[in-house]
Amino acid sequence: MGNYRIAVLPGDGIGQEVTAGAVEVLKAVGVRFGHEFTFEYGWIGGAAIDEAGTPLPEETLRLCRESDAVLLGAVGGPKWDGNPPHLRPEKGLLAIRKQLDLYANLRPVVCYDCLASASPLKPDLVQGVDFVIVRELTGGIYFGQPSGRVVENGEEKAVDTLLYKKEEIERIVRMAFTLARGRKKKVTSVDKANVLSSSRLWREVAEEVAEQFPDVELEHMLVDNAAMQLIRAPKQFDVIVTENMFGDILSDEASMLSGSLGMLPSASLSASGPSLYEPVHGSAPDIAGMNKANPIAAILSAAMMLRLSFGLTAEAEAVEHAVRQALDQGLRTADLAPSGGRIVSTNEMVEEIKTAVLDYTAIAQIMTVYA
């Protein structure tokens, strides 16, 4: 069976706890399916600044490049808020995206029926929600130059540059259409073409790519309208594709459809090297070390790794089934308390999901024998 090398970058805050939970679930998958996962650890973010004086040490980059996939926790926290810009934890996150060419960020948004009441929206609006946000991750205003603060004639100014090349837009839009072809065959391209030149180019390229996918519907939507429609009628969406900053904002908004940021996984896919998997949530320093964090987003990110990087579909389904089973049984971490059920710790949720993974795979093996 398979032997896979995984770089684990816990990062800061609850990143340490949730990645530990995901690793435990992956170990359970390995035991039941006969795979060997080798986990090697590296620093990133604030922890890397403390240990190595930089948010992304060269040793961490080397480890990632030599691995089959990367599992990341979260970065940041108030401890480093006063640091100069080049020593902010978030710089490590942006740098690893650029260095590994992680151009496509996939953020699935699913509302489990049993968690519909945890959403601030009415249950009938969110039940059945199932779409993917495809966010361009290595271009746009987060990477454009010039960027910075200057003082001219005694006046302080700041500038950030939103820059996109046609080829950058084309490859992310193509990714969205390819995904949609295997889903409900609809792509919503989100831009601000009524104001931004970059968005007008984005819209033109989306139209060009759409011609190569005649079986997939393309619609354009301005970002302010998209933000409203996510709340008004979220079930209309299948695959949303958008640029870096818009995708960052919209995906956080969409997390409320599932009831909590702690439920949303993500995959950042590379064009040439290992891909990176991480929960959408941040480092939540206010609950770090309290055994309260929701590990599900990290665990579902590991399931995405199994499917997308390793081609282990059955194993990914086992993890996803185990998460659903734990939730259906009424287990809830504190962030999911509005939906009712029994409040459990991070470790208790991880153990329950591990047990369900083992049960699921054992049943699957028995069924295979008698098929």
Q: At what angle do helices 15-33 and 346-370 cross, to 10 degrees?
A: 20
Is 102 in contact with 309 (CB distance < 8 Å)? no
Residue 366 has pLDDT above 80, yes or no: no
Mean pLDDT along residues 266-280: 95
Mean pLDDT along residues 192-199: 98
Is 80 in contact with 42 (CB distance < 8 Å)? no
- Of the listed 192, 335, 354, 360, which one is catalytic? 192
Reply yes or no: is the peptide bond before residue 108 cis, omega within 30 of 0. Answer: no
Residue 360 has pLDDT above 90, yes or no: no
Query: Rounded to an integer, what distance in angstroms lies between the CA atom of residue 212 and that of residue 224?
Result: 28
pLDDT of residue 68: 98
Is 320 in contact with 267 (CB distance < 8 Å)? no
Say whether 27 is catalytic.
Answer: no
Binding residue positions: 77-90, 97, 107, 135, 224, 248, 252, 282-294
Give Cα 1 to chain centroid, integer Å: 28
What percent of the chain clears pLDDT 90, i.e. is strictly above it?
90
| Weakest-pLDDT range from 31-40, 116-125, 130-139 | 116-125
**Residue 261 pLDDT class (50, 70, 90 cuts):** confident
Query: Rounded to an integer, what distance in angstroms lies between the CA atom of residue 207 and that of residue 193?
Result: 13
Residue 367 has pLDDT above 70, yes or no: no
Residue 265 has pLDDT above 90, yes or no: yes
Q: What are the tens digits of pLDDT across the range 197-233?
A: 999 999 999 999 999 999 999 999 999 999 999 999 9
**Residue 256 pLDDT class (50, 70, 90 cuts):** confident
Burial class (CB in 10 A: 0-12, 13-18, 19+), 218: buried
**Residue 370 pLDDT class (50, 70, 90 cuts):** very low
pLDDT of residue 162: 96
Q: Where are the domains of the chain?
A: 1-100+273-371, 108-262
Residue with tokens 């939507």: 221
Partner residues linked to 104 by β-bridges: 136, 269
Q: Give the predicted TM-score (pTM) of the model.
A: 0.90
Give Cα 302 to chain centroid, integer Å: 10
Length of the chain: 371
Per CATH, 1-100+273-371 and 108-262 having the same topology is answered yes
3-state class (DSSP) for residue 121:
coil
Binding residue positions for Mg(2+): 224, 248, 252
- Of the listed 101, 130, 160, 252, which one is catalytic? 252
pLDDT of residue 287: 97
Is 191 in contact with 222 (CB distance < 8 Å)? yes
CATH number given to 1-100+273-371 = 3.40.718.10
Partner residues linked to 239 by β-bridges: 132, 187
Say whether 103 is catalytic.
Answer: no
Binding residue positions for substrate: 97, 107, 135, 224
pLDDT of residue 337: 85
Query: Rounded to an integer, what distance in angstroms lies between the CA atom of residue 155 and that of residue 306?
Result: 52
Stated as kind and residue range, the H or E segment containing 231 is helix 223-232
Question: Residue 225 contacts by C-beta under 8 Å, 6 or more apart in sequence?
Answer: none
Helix and strand counts by DSSP (H, E) for the chain: 12, 14
Closest CA to 131 of 237, 227, 218, 232: 237
pLDDT of residue 63: 98
Query: Rounded to an integer, what distance in angstroms lies between the CA atom of residue 268 and that of residue 136?
Result: 9
| Weakest-pLDDT range from 50-59, 113-122, 221-230, 325-334 | 113-122
Say whether 192 is catalytic.
Answer: yes
CB atoms within 10 A of CB 353: 28
Say whether 50 is catalytic.
Answer: no
Closest CA to 225 of 204, 211, 205, 242: 242
**Which alpha helices (DSSP H) does the chain contain, by range?**
15-33, 46-52, 58-65, 89-99, 123-126, 166-181, 197-210, 223-232, 244-255, 296-308, 313-328, 346-370
| Weakest-pLDDT range from 20-24, 208-212, 281-285, 366-370 | 366-370
**Residue 338 pLDDT class (50, 70, 90 cuts):** confident
Query: Rounded to an integer, what distance in angstroms lies between the CA atom of residue 181 and that of residue 184?
Result: 7
For the chain, the average pLDDT equals 94
pLDDT of residue 132: 98
Q: What are the tens digits of pLDDT across the range 228-249?
A: 999 999 999 999 999 999 999 9
- Of the listed 142, 164, 277, 360, which one is catalytic? 142
Give the CATH class of 108-262: alpha beta
Is 295 in contact with 283 (CB distance < 8 Å)? no
pLDDT of residue 214: 98
Phi, psi of 243 (to 5 degrees): -80, 180
Say whether 252 is catalytic.
Answer: yes
181-203 as b/e: b if 16+ CB within 10 A: eeeeebbbbbbbbeeeebbebbb
Read off the DSSP letter of residue 329: T
Binding residue positions for NAD(+): 77-90, 282-294
Q: What are the tens digits of pLDDT across the range 121-170?
A: 999 999 999 999 999 999 999 999 999 999 999 999 999 999 999 999 99
